[in-house]
Amino acid sequence: MSAPAALHPPAAVLEPRPTQVAMEGDEMVLSMGPQHPSTHGVLRIVLKTDGEVVKEAIPHLGYLHRCFEKHAENLTYGQVIPFTDRMDYLASMNQNFSFVVAVERLMGIQPSEREEYIRVIMAELNRIASHLVSFGTYGLDIGAVTPFLYAFRERELILDIFEAASGARLLYNYMRIGGVMRDLTPQMLDKVREFVEYFEPKIDEYNELLSFNRIFIERTASVGVLSAEQAIAYGVTGPNLRGSGVQFDIRRGDPYSIYDRFEFDIPVGQGLHGTVGDCWDRYYVRILEMRESVKILRQALAQIPAGELARRPKTVKPPKGEIYSRTESPRGELGFYVISDGTTNPLRVKARSPCFTAMSVFDELARGAMISDVIAIIGSIDIVLGEIDR
């Protein structure tokens, strides 16, 4: 500003780009991502900080957008299912489940009893696997490296079961309109029983190692407090909502499939170590949910009937109409709004992503927090970019 006019560079060069240092007083603009060890996926967050304290946190999404909804308009209903896998790739079974339930409701059909039980078993196993990843990576973000490896050790057993059932370790494409791809053999069911017995005591191990660790509590308690009113106003669902004390779970509140036959609790955050709705609550709700999933698995394994799988409809042609159908994925309310025009291809498929709404409340949570707390908050809302961007 003190140089003579003739030496001023042209205006285009003078304009500050948001990722460069824009000095307004002590303000610093920091770009976290899109490649960053702690944002769970390709997420870019532009932080405006005053020293260590965050004044504004703007997430930039879209790095993983793959035009899922546009693709769905040109595919048959059966062909859409693998695309749903890839939305939230950590909870593939649940994504499949949600979509096939939506189409089945539109068509007015139901799979056989055995298939319903198989679906529930797969969905709950995947819930455990997804929560294990969330638990492990959260510890990693906070600095505890070891729980991550223990979580993945358990998850390997689940992935082995999935590999035996569907052939794949991560993206299963297992459920079909009107049923599932393949029956489970008695050996596979035994493996699930073995896993359930092996896994339950491990949850206590995780609690000892991480959940009740003094340093972990200091890092996460009373950080990123999301009040119940805020959560409902923003449309947050799933463990994030339950962490704020609201006891709402679609498996109980708006039951689908055969969930009304099982007895399980809905854990909510109670502010045991800080404020209700802080990061620790959201994290602990997930740990408790793993226990509940184990309960459901036990009941499903005991009740599963023998029998053949029903014949699935050969061509899927739902009658003209539209439906919004929702299920409880490990990250919240996963909804599909399907409009059918009577042909084999849907007219429109809209996916309601729970992580997207969770991300929308991120700016409010991050204001006034320190940069280390931003990491803790992102980990506690457990996002998967594949689902946010679709």
- Binding residues (CB under 8 A) for another protein: these are 21, 28, 30, 36-38, 52, 139-146, 149-150, 153, 209-210, 213, 215-216, 218-219, 370-373, 375
CB nearer to another protein: give 28 or 266. Answer: 28
**Rounded least distance, CB 273 to another protein, Å:** 14
Sign of CA dihedral 234, 237, 243, 248: positive
**Rounded least distance, CB 23 to another protein, Å:** 12
**Rounded least distance, CB 352 to another protein, Å:** 30
3-state helix, strand, coil in the chain (%, to 5): 50, 15, 35
The CA-based angle 317-319-321, given to 5 degrees, is 125
DSSP secondary structure string, 100-153? HHHHHHHHT----HHHHHHHHHHHHHHHHHHHHHHHHHHHHHHT--HHHHHHHH
CB nearer to another protein: give 36 or 350. Answer: 36
**Rounded least distance, CB 141 to another protein, Å:** 5
d(CA 301, CA 299): 5
Report the DSSP beta bridge partners of residue 48: 29, 56
Are the C-beta atoms of residues 79 and 274 closer than 8 Å to each other?
no
**Rounded least distance, CB 287 to another protein, Å:** 15
CB nearer to another protein: give 355 or 375. Answer: 375
Are the C-beta atoms of residues 120 and 127 closer than 8 Å to each other?
no
CB nearer to another protein: give 43 or 101. Answer: 43
d(CA 36, CA 41): 8
**Rounded least distance, CB 220 to another protein, Å:** 9
Are the C-beta atoms of residues 128 and 135 closer than 8 Å to each other?
no
CB nearer to another protein: give 50 or 229. Answer: 50
CB nearer to another protein: give 11 or 21. Answer: 21
What is the torsion angle, in degrees rounded to the nearest 10, for the CA atoms of residue 69, residue 339, residue 351 and residue 103? Answer: -110
**Rounded least distance, CB 31 to another protein, Å:** 9
Record the tokens describing residue 185, joined without a space: 């053999």
CB nearer to another protein: give 28 or 232. Answer: 28
**Range 182-191, long-range pairs (CB < 8 A, 24+ positions):** 183/114, 183/118, 183/308, 183/309, 184/118, 184/121, 188/161, 188/164, 189/301, 189/304, 191/160, 191/161, 191/164
**Rounded least distance, CB 142 to another protein, Å:** 4
* Rg of the chain, C-alpha, whole Å: 23
Sequence-separated (6 or more) residues with CB below 8 Å from residue 360: 234, 235
CB nearer to another protein: give 226 or 375. Answer: 375
CB nearer to another protein: give 16 or 342. Answer: 16
**Rounded least distance, CB 211 to another protein, Å:** 11
122: nearest Cα among 160, 83, 89, 162: 162
Record the tokens describing residue 136, joined without a space: 């492990």
